């Protein structure tokens, strides 16, 4: 058996606990062409709060120009055009943006001297060297994947930029999810993408993927990627609003969500193409965001009884094993968290068995609630039981299961105050704050899989279980926050939402000093 | 309309047709009489338990008995008997047996068309109810409502669906409740009309079925397969290629039928038009006398109208290009013009009609209340329309398999039947009218399906990984060991499969969600063009990139369902690439010119024929630039304008191809054997400004004609669509392994779909047929005609082209075979 690499890619590492990452927003050219910059891009910048904005292909030149540069003070950089250097204060992270590595000074520590900056760059922990030099070609005919441009890139890279523990090579020509470790005879180079999916490479990559890219980068080289659909921002982010209706709203002077929340559905219904139904939906959606509250819509009843909130962590996309069932017994703040986690490599069911014993014994008759539960958690648990503990299947099947995401969006019983329907986004809009950083479902799955794959090695990998359990706890508390807001909304008379106190909002923006 | 059995001397025979047809002028060029056949039966109780046997209202036909026996012996079967021979009854009885043995047993039936699925749902439900089997059969496809789906997954015993649906449902096996029950208990998989799965779609279906089988292993299910196909040349091979299982062939047809005449009918010369042309001293252009033949569509309508007027319910099959609506109108018109003219009730039937309309026409056919129906090949499949009296096929449907399938529609039980094939104007039809024995030989075409396309394989592998992590146990069913591990490495390096682990550990999918939704079973790249009409609706299948560049560039004119359209815009870079078209009546057609280069040849097989002749098969890069097009006048064929730019980007294919390389001195030895008149440049050659060496030109015309001939006539042996094949011929090629002249035949689809491989494997037969046809084509013109070597897809305006020299070059190769 080939030994399994326990840290295959630096980008997947767990960052320091509690570290606030630097945030990069990558904007491809077409976003600026296709969407209203003042509405959509401005809203996206406000929501994501980046430390730096990078222009990525295709047509990156459209991005680093007015109007984008005019709507924000945050640096907007097109690495393919000119070299610039940016340090994100506090995190020890340096971004070096270059058309090619030829532009670089001899070493990363030479950067401040060359630019004559404010007294040198101290405490550099990691440098992200960003260019547009590398692209990926997938060639099924020859069954190979090629990193195009790597030879020229490495040839022009100064010797002082080789330290793999210090430098991550980022290309906007690679899709943001891409990462690799490129090895030559003498050196190793961590490579990461920061761009949208580029050309047709096969079914595994969605070319129409949401093209706004948020990269959270950490001082140990870890990177987390999240993509956003531009239609979630600005007026188009409101329910029932496409490009045409957004245009008409602007024509009638409704330039922002606040403006729409501040008017009446009746006034909106006068606009061409806005029936009473659309006007009401749009108004509710704008109100939800403006007030930071869930706005109830027609119909729908929440389950009776105290819910049991759950979130499962699995070993992969189509999760065959739920190795962690995180349970919150009680409310979002005071509730008691119970992580049922797999303990032994070869016992995939003991913890699920314990969970079912608890559920049927202690929590008999209470509804089970999971975010996107119908699409993920519930069937995975059922499948897991069918395979490994069929005696529990009937108990599980007969238990009332509730999915707030399905209830609100698919069934249309409520409008969330967030720009997307991700649990974290919805809960954050409702005031929930995450206590963990740097872990997501993919990281958790990788940690588990590495543990499993090194089971037979004497120095087998041991994940930081506490941290993974804490991440899952964060999610069940977020879930409870959303559920409680749904409950509040269902009890509240319609139209009594309170405007959100905007001054209390925390800015995610770190302090930034420029070196260009 | 009378449902009494028609008498043999009435209308439904060759003789009766000749005698009764108004102004009959020798259109029948050949015919075949098929004598009546009695049913060959086996007592049901010998094969199936009494419980079921007692419920049947008649015994089993021999093929049904054999099939059921093989199934009882744990074999997979492929049933390849004629249309309406009771193939459904075999798997219906198997479903019944399985249910009686185990009430939890489930079955999955896969059909190529939604309409057929609904039809079979009724049939299966009716049969099983008649036999008192307590079971539930349901359709599960894109039209099924969401809340019904959950119930069906959880409770149905038999699920009927289509391959595109299955592609999407498989990855949901562990998220949608009910599938695990269904798969755990799956005992039978039926793939109906399996001959439909060839070419690109066949490749996808083969991988979808492999994914299914692989997943079933995980559910500890090992179901049997029943495949049904129309008569094809290689049923066992085809079934194995599709499923990777072994099969027993059931082909001895025990069903009865009445007497049947099959008549080949050549449209006559329109004397009036011909006389007029002579009066004005017009020079017949490319088509020669053929230009004055009454069109296939007109003539077919006359035959159909004649049969309908004689109270014989008739089904006319139209090729897709003609359009059933227009055909129906023409039949109505021909009936009015008939000497005994009166109204006949005619309907058009095609896949684009609404479900209810289609069901209505099917019922009218069954009840005998409609006189004539003009249909696409949609009614060729097993939709139950009862028996009808006669079929008229307007233009050869492209394969013998399809032809026999259509003919099988004629005849009610043991009554007489008549089928008429009205020849069309292309090389295939011409060959068949000249060589009618071809149709009546025992042979039928081989179905061609390939699992070699790497792009298609790569995509399905990702979806399989999403369905369940890949392990080395998947080698074999998901590709041979090396192929699997290399492709897994490729995807790992691309970051869509989990890195740092090998197949021994199990490899998870890490790519974007729903990869299955980005697989289109109509093309290999996942990037297909949709066709929209800007001023109305058009029911047009999506177009693969390869065809879009050639046939749907801006300004291209094309015929669809009998109407002409012009492409007004092509959105190559849109999220979903799109072709915008507009209806037009122009009197013109367009021809795309291309520049083609074949390089980086990687031979995989070869056959040395000695003396410098060699056949090859392999892969290569084929770069095609469809840069320009010409606009022609339809009636004169003259170029009216152009060349215009197409705006199509260059197309780069890495695909399969076969080539024939000839001795280095073949040009000179061929020229030296030519008689003097053949050495004179043709009129066309003289007009060619690039002509410097007339001999070279003559030779190049010959090798070009040989290439065209092979491509045009390959469908005589193989079920392939020759619009997906391309060619290139040249007196010299830079590849050092090619000493002299060479011609290539390549798959027009990136990655290949097995067409040129099949041509390589069947080269001798195809070459022989091509040689015969080039020798005897009615045109006897040096440049040939559209019925032999001229091709509408030629990127060089069919220049140079020399039928006579082409035949000689083919002859030289055949002497070595």
Q: How far is CA A85 from CA A101, A121, A435, in A?
A: 13, 11, 31
Cβ-defined contact of B458 to A202 (cutoff 8 Å): yes
* SS3 per residue for B245-266: CCCEEECCCCCCECCEEEEEEC
Q: What confidence score (pLDDT) does residue A505 get?
A: 36
Same domain, A118 and A240: no
Is residue A300 in a domain? no
Tens place of pLDDT per residue across chain A (516 aa): 444 555 667 778 888 888 889 999 999 998 998 888 988 999 999 889 999 999 998 888 889 888 899 999 999 999 999 999 998 866 689 999 999 999 999 988 888 544 434 445 567 889 999 999 999 988 898 899 999 999 999 999 999 999 989 999 999 999 998 999 999 999 999 999 999 886 556 788 887 766 899 999 999 999 999 889 888 888 888 888 888 888 889 888 888 888 888 888 898 988 888 888 888 888 888 888 888 888 887 778 899 889 999 999 998 766 778 999 999 999 999 999 999 999 999 999 999 999 999 999 999 999 999 999 988 899 889 888 988 899 999 999 999 999 999 999 888 888 888 888 889 989 998 989 988 888 888 889 889 988 988 888 888 889 999 999 999 999 999 999 999 999 988 887 665 655 444 333 333 333 333 333
Q: How far is CA B247 from CA A152, B72, B76, B234, in A?
A: 55, 14, 5, 12
pLDDT of B7 strictly over 60: no
Q: What is the CATH number of the domain that holds A273?
A: 1.10.150.20
Is residue A342 in a domain? yes
Same domain, A260 and A214: no
pLDDT of B36 strictly over 60: yes
Name the residue among B176, B458, B508 with its Cβ closest to that of A140.
B458
| Chain A residues closer than 8 Å to B451 by CB | none
Same domain, A183 and A259: no
Cβ-defined contact of A145 to B490 (cutoff 8 Å): yes
Closest CA relative to residue A85, chosen from A61, A104, A57, A63: A104
The CA distance from A267 to the nearest CA of chain B, in Å, is 35
Alpha helices in A211-362 (DSSP H): 243-251, 257-261, 265-269, 276-291, 350-361
Cβ-defined contact of A204 to B516 (cutoff 8 Å): no
Q: What is the CATH number of the domain that holds A446?
A: 3.30.420.10
Which range (A322-336, A482-496, B226-240, B545-559) has the least confidence?
A482-496
Evaluate the CA torsion angle A450, A455, A457, A459 in order and state its sign: positive
Residues 6+ apart with CB under 8 A from A157: A101, A104
Same domain, A317 and A177: no
For residues A367 and A375, give the distance between their C-alpha atoms in angstroms, rounded to a whole number.
17
Please name the residue of chain B whose CA is at the shortest distance from the CA of residue A174: B494
Q: What confidence score (pLDDT) does residue A504 get?
A: 35
Task: Tell me the sheet residues that pair with A85.
Answer: A96
Cβ-defined contact of B180 to A203 (cutoff 8 Å): no
Q: What confidence score (pLDDT) does residue A54 get?
A: 96
Is residue A512 in a domain? no
Please name the residue of chain B whose CA is at the shortest distance from the CA of residue A178: B495
Residue with token string 């703040």: A333
Cβ-defined contact of B518 to A316 (cutoff 8 Å): no
Two structure tokens written together for B633: 């006048």
Same domain, A156 and A285: no
Q: A312, A382 in Cβ contact below 8 A? A: no
- For chain B, how many residues are written? 817
pLDDT of B284 strictly over 50: no
| Chain A residues closer than 8 Å to B483 by CB | 143
Domain count, chain A: 3
Please name the residue of chain B whose CA is at the shortest distance from the CA of residue A2: B502
Residue with token string 């770190």: A510
Residues 6+ apart with CB under 8 A from B458: A140, A202, B487, B490, B491
For residues A233 and B355, give the distance between their C-alpha atoms in angstroms, rounded to a whole number.
41
Is residue A273 in a domain? yes
Same domain, A19 and A110: yes
Q: What confidence score (pLDDT) does residue B63 get?
A: 97
The CA distance from A419 to the nearest CA of chain B, in Å, is 20
**DSSP 3-state assignment of A56?**
strand
Same domain, A317 and A404: yes
Name the residue among B469, B491, B498 with its Cβ closest to that of A204.
B491
Average pLDDT, chain B: 88
Which range (A203-207, B139-143, B289-293, B763-767) has the least confidence?
B289-293
| Chain A residues closer than 8 Å to B185 by CB | none
Among residues of chain B, what percentage have pLDDT more than 90? 55
* pLDDT tens sequence across B431-489: 888 888 888 887 788 999 999 999 999 999 999 999 999 999 999 999 999 999 999 99
- Write out the CATH class of domain B41-250: alpha beta
Alpha helices in B319-453 (DSSP H): 324-337, 355-367, 400-407, 427-434, 437-440
Task: Tell me the sheet residues that pair with B60.
Answer: B42
The CA distance from A452 to the nearest CA of chain B, in Å, is 9
* pLDDT tens sequence across B338-393: 998 778 999 999 877 777 888 889 889 988 889 999 998 888 877 778 778 999 99
Cβ-defined contact of A204 to B494 (cutoff 8 Å): yes
Interface test with A, best of B451, B454, B458 (most A CBs within 10 A): B458
The CA distance from A384 to the nearest CA of chain B, in Å, is 9
Same domain, A251 and A160: no
Evaluate the CA torsion angle A216, A217, A222, A228 in order and state its sign: positive
Q: String of b and e for A182-198 (b: at least 16 CB within 10 Å)?
A: beeeeeebbbbbbbbbb
Got the DSSP string for B64-77?
Answer: HHHHHHHHHTT--E
Q: Give me the long-range contacts of A282-288 (CB less than 8 A, separation at least 24).
A: A282/A238, A282/A239, A282/A240, A282/A241, A284/A239, A284/A415, A285/A238, A285/A239, A285/A240, A285/A415, A286/A238, A286/A257, A286/A258, A286/A260, A286/A261, A287/A261, A287/A497, A288/A415, A288/A416, A288/A417, A288/A497
Which range of residues forms the domain containing residue A463? 308-491
For A240, left (φ over 0), alpha (ψ -120 to 50), or beta? left
| Chain A residues closer than 8 Å to B458 by CB | 140, 202
Beta strand pairing status for B137-139 and B528-533?
unpaired
Please name the residue of chain A whose CA is at the shortest distance from the CA of residue B468: A318
Q: B81, B40 in Cβ contact below 8 A? A: no
Name the residue among B500, B516, B526 with its Cβ closest to that of A202.
B526
Same domain, A264 and A339: no
The CA distance from A73 to the nearest CA of chain B, in Å, is 32
Cβ-defined contact of B490 to A177 (cutoff 8 Å): no
Is residue A30 in a domain? yes
Name the residue among A143, A203, A318 with its Cβ closest to that of B459.
A203
**DSSP 3-state assignment of A399?**
coil
Task: Tell me the sheet residues that pair with B558.
Answer: B565
Q: Which fold has domain B14-33+257-447?
A: Rossmann fold (3.40.50)
Q: How far is CA A267 from CA A68, A244, A280, in A?
A: 32, 18, 10
For residues B744 and B757, give the distance between their C-alpha atoms in angstroms, rounded to a whole number.
12
Q: What confidence score (pLDDT) does residue A201 get?
A: 67
Among residues of chain B, what percentage have pLDDT more than 70? 94
**DSSP 3-state assignment of A516?**
coil
| Chain B residues closer than 8 Å to A208 by CB | 575
Got the DSSP string for B370-386?
Answer: -SEEEE-GGGGSS----
| Chain B residues closer than 8 Å to A2 by CB | 502, 504
Same domain, A144 and A252: no
- For chain A, how many residues are written? 516
Cβ-defined contact of B499 to A206 (cutoff 8 Å): no
Q: How far is CA A68 from CA A53, A64, A194, in A?
A: 10, 7, 19
Band (pLDDT 50/70/90 cuts) for residue B191 is very high
Cis bond leading into B643, ω under 30°? yes
Two structure tokens written together for B684: 């066309």
Query: Domain end: A209, A231, A253, which one?
Result: A231
Q: B561, B539 in Cβ contact below 8 A? A: yes
Interface test with A, best of B495, B523, B546 (most A CBs within 10 A): B495
The CA distance from A144 to the nearest CA of chain B, in Å, is 5
Closest CA relative to residue A208, chosen from B515, B46, B75: B515
Element (H, E) at B126: helix B114-130
Residues 6+ apart with CB under 8 A from A180: A9, A147, A190, A191, B493, B495, B499
* pLDDT tens sequence across B581-636: 998 888 788 888 889 999 999 999 999 999 999 999 999 999 999 999 989 887 67
Name the residue among B454, B493, B510 with its Cβ closest to that of A140.
B454
Please name the residue of chain A whose CA is at the shortest distance from the CA of residue B501: A4
Same domain, A128 and A209: yes
Closest CA relative to residue A225, chosen from A190, A181, A178, A168: A178
Two structure tokens written together for B351: 């896949």
* Interface predicted TM-score (ipTM) of this complex, two decimals: 0.81
Closest CA relative to residue A281, chosen from A238, A252, A251, A229: A238
User: Strands, DSSP E only, in A165-222?
Assistant: 167-175, 179-183, 188-195, 212-217
Closest CA relative to residue B535, chosen from B570, B579, B582, B568: B582
Q: How far is CA B492 from CA A203, A272, A360, B498, B502, in A?
A: 14, 51, 42, 6, 10
Name the residue among A9, A143, A315 with its Cβ closest to that of B454.
A143
The CA distance from B470 to the nearest CA of chain A, in Å, is 12
Q: How many other CB atoms are found less than 10 A from the CB of residue B96?
A: 22
Please name the residue of chain B whose CA is at the shortest distance from the CA of residue A441: B510
User: Strands, DSSP E only, in A71-178?
Assistant: 76-77, 84-88, 93-97, 126-131, 135-139, 144-148, 167-175
Q: How far is CA B83 from CA B69, B387, B422, in A?
A: 21, 10, 21
Number of H helices, E strands in chain A: 16, 21
Residue with token string 């260019």: A131
Is residue A5 in a domain? no
Q: How many other CB atoms are found less than 10 A from the CB of residue B487?
A: 22
Same domain, A331 and A440: yes
The CA distance from A375 to the nearest CA of chain B, in Å, is 6
Name the residue among B171, B177, B511 with its Cβ closest to that of A204.
B511
Cis bond leading into A67, ω under 30°? yes
């Amino acid at each position: 058996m080939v030994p399994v690499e326990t840290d295959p890619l630096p980008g997947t590492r767990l960052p320091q606990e509690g570290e606030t990452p630097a945030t990069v927003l990558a904007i491809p050219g077409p976003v600026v062409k296709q969407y209203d910059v003042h509405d959509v891009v401005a809203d996206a910048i406000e929501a994501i709060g980046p430390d730096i904005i990078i222009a990525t292909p295709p047509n990156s030149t459209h991005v680093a120009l007015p109007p984008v540069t005019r709507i924000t003070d945050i640096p907007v950089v097109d690495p393919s055009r000119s070299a610039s250097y940016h340090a994100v204060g506090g995190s020890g992270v340096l971004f070096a943006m270059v058309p090619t590595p030829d532009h670089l000074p001899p070493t990363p520590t030479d950067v401040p001297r060359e630019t004559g900056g404010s007294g040198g760059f101290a405490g550099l922990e990691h440098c992200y060297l960003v260019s547009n030099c590398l692209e990926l070609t997938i060639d099924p005919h020859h069954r190979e994947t090629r990193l195009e441009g790597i030879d020229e890139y490495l040839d022009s890279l100064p010797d002082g930029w080789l330290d793999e523990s210090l430098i991550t090579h980022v290309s906007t020509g690679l899709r943001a999810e891409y990462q690799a470790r490129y090895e030559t005879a003498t050196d190793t180079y961590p490579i990461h993408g920061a761009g949208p999916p580029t050309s047709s490479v096969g079914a595994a990559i969605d070319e129409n993927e949401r093209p706004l890219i948020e990269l959270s980068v950490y001082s140990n080289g870890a990177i987390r990627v999240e993509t956003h659909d531009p239609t979630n921002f600005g007026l188009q982010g409101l329910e029932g609003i496409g490009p045409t209706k957004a245009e008409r709203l602007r024509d009638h002077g409704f330039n922002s969500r606040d403006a729409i929340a501040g008017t009446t559905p009746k006034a909106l219904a006068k606009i061409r193409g806005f029936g009473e139904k659309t006007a009401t939906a749009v108004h509710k959606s704008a109100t939800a965001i403006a007030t930071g509250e869930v706005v109830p819509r027609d119909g729908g009843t929440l389950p009776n009884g105290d819910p049991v909130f759950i979130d499962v962590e699995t070993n992969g996309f189509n999760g065959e094993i739920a190795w962690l069932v995180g349970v919150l017994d009680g409310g979002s703040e005071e509730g008691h968290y119970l992580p049922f986690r797999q303990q032994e490599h070869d016992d995939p069911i003991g913890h699920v068995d314990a969970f079912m014993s608890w559920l049927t014994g202690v929590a008999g008759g209470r509804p089970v609630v999971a975010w996107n539960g119908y699409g993920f958690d519930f069937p995975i648990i059922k499948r897991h039981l069918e395979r490994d503990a069929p005696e529990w299947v009937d108990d599980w099947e007969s238990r009332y299961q509730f999915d707030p995401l399905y209830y609100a969006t698919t069934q249309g019983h409520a409008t969330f105050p967030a720009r997307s329907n991700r649990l974290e986004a919805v809960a954050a809009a409702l005031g929930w704050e995450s206590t963990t950083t740097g872990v997501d479902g993919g990281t958790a799955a990788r940690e588990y899989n590495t543990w499993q794959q090194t089971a037979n090695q004497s120095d087998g990998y041991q994940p930081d279980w506490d941290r993974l359990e804490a991440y899952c706890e964060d999610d069940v508390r977020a879930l409870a926050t959303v559920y409680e807001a749904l409950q509040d909304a269902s009890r509240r008379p319609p139209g009594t939402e309170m405007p959100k106190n905007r001054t209390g909002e925390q800015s995610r923006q770190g302090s930034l000093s420029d070196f260009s | 309309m009378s449902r009494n059995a028609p008498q043999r001397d009435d209308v439904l025979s060759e003789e009766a047709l000749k005698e009764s047809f108004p102004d009959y002028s020798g259109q029948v060029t050949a015919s075949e009489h098929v004598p009546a056949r009695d049913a060959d039966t086996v007592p049901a109780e010998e094969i199936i338990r009494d419980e079921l046997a007692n419920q049947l209202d008649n015994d089993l036909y021999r093929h049904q008995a054999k099939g059921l026996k093989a199934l009882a012996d744990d074999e997979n079967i492929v049933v390849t008997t004629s249309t309406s021979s009771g193939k459904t009854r075999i798997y219906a009885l198997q479903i019944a047996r399985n249910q009686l043995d185990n009430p939890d047993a489930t079955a999955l039936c896969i059909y190529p068309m939604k309409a057929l699925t609904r039809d079979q749902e009724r049939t299966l439900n009716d049969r099983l109810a008649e036999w008192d089997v307590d079971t539930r059969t349901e359709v599960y496809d894109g039209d099924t409502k969401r809340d019904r789906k959950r119930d069906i997954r959880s409770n149905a015993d038999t699920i009927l669906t289509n391959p595109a649906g299955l592609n999407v449902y498989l990855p949901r096996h562990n998220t949608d409740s009910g599938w695990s029950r269904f798969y755990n208990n799956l005992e039978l998989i039926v793939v109906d009309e399996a001959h439909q799965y060839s070419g690109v779609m066949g490749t996808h279906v083969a991988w979808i079925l492999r994914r299914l089988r692989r997943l079933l292993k995980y559910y500890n299910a090992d179901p049997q397969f029943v495949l049904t196909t129309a008569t094809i040349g290689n049923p066992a091979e085809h079934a194995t290629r599709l499923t990777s299982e072994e099969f027993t062939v059931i082909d001895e047809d025990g069903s009865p039928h009445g007497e049947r005449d099959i008549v080949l009918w050549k449209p006559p010369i329109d004397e009036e038009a011909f006389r007029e042309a002579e009066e004005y001293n017009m020079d017949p252009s490319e088509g020669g006398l053929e230009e004055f033949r009454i069109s296939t569509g007109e003539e077919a309508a006359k035959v159909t109208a004649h049969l309908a007027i004689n109270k014989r319910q008739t089904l006319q099959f139209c090729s897709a290009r003609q359009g059933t609506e227009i055909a129906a109108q023409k039949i109505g018109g021909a009936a009015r013009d008939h000497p005994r003219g009166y109204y006949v009730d005619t309907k058009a039937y095609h896949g684009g009609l609404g479900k209810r309309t289609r069901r209505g026409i099917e019922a009218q056919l069954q009840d005998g209340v409609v006189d004539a129906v003009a249909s696409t090949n949609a009614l060729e499949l097993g939709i139950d329309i009862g028996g009808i009296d006669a079929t008229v096929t307007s233009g050869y449907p492209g394969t013998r398999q399809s032809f026999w399938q259509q003919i099988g529609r004629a005849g009610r039980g043991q009554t007489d039947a008549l089928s008429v094939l009205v020849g069309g104007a292309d090389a295939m039809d011409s060959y068949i009218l000249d060589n009618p024995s071809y149709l009546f030989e025992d042979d039928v075409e081989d179905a061609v399906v390939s699992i070699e396309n790497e792009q298609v394989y790569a995509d399905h592998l990702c979806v399989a990984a999403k369905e369940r992590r890949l392990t080395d146990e998947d080698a074999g069913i998901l590709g041979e060991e090396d192929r699997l591990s290399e492709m897994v490495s490729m995807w790992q390096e691309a970051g869509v499969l989990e890195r740092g682990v090998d197949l021994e550990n199990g490899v998870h999918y890490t790519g974007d969600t729903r990869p299955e939704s980005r697989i289109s079973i109509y093309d290999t790249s996942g990037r297909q063009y949709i066709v929209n009409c800007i001023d109305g609706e058009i029911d047009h299948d999506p177009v693969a990139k390869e065809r879009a560049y050639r046939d749907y560039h801006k300004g291209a004119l094309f015929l669809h369902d009998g109407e002409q359209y012009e492409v007004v815009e092509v959105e190559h870079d849109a999220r979903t690439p799109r072709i915008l078209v507009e209806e037009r009546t122009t009197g013109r057609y367009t021809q795309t010119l291309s520049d083609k280069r074949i390089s980086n040849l990687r031979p995989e097989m070869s056959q040395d024929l000695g003396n410098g002749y060699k056949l090859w098969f392999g892969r290569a890069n084929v770069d095609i630039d469809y840069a320009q097009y010409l606009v022609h006048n339809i009636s004169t064929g003259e170029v009216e304008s152009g060349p215009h730019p197409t705006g199509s980007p260059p197309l780069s294919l890495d695909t399969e191809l076969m080539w024939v390389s000839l001795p280095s001195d073949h040009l000179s030895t061929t020229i030296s054997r030519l008689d003097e008149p053949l050495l004179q440049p043709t009129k066309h050659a003289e007009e060619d400004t690039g002509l410097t060496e007339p001999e070279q030109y003559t030779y190049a015309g010959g090798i070009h004609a040989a290439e065209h001939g092979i491509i045009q006539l390959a469908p005589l042996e193989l079920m392939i669509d020759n619009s997906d094949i391309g060619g290139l011929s040249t007196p010299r090629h830079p590849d050092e392994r090619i000493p002299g002249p060479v011609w290539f035949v390549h798959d027009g689809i990136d990655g290949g779909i097995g067409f040129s491989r099949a041509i390589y494997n069947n080269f001798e037969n195809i070459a022989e047929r091509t040689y015969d046809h080039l020798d005897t084509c009615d045109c006897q013109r040096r440049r040939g005609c559209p019925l032999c070597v001229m091709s509408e897809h030629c990127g060089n305006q069919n220049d140079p082209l020399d039928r006579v020299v082409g035949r000689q070059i083919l002859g030289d190769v055949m002497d070595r075979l």
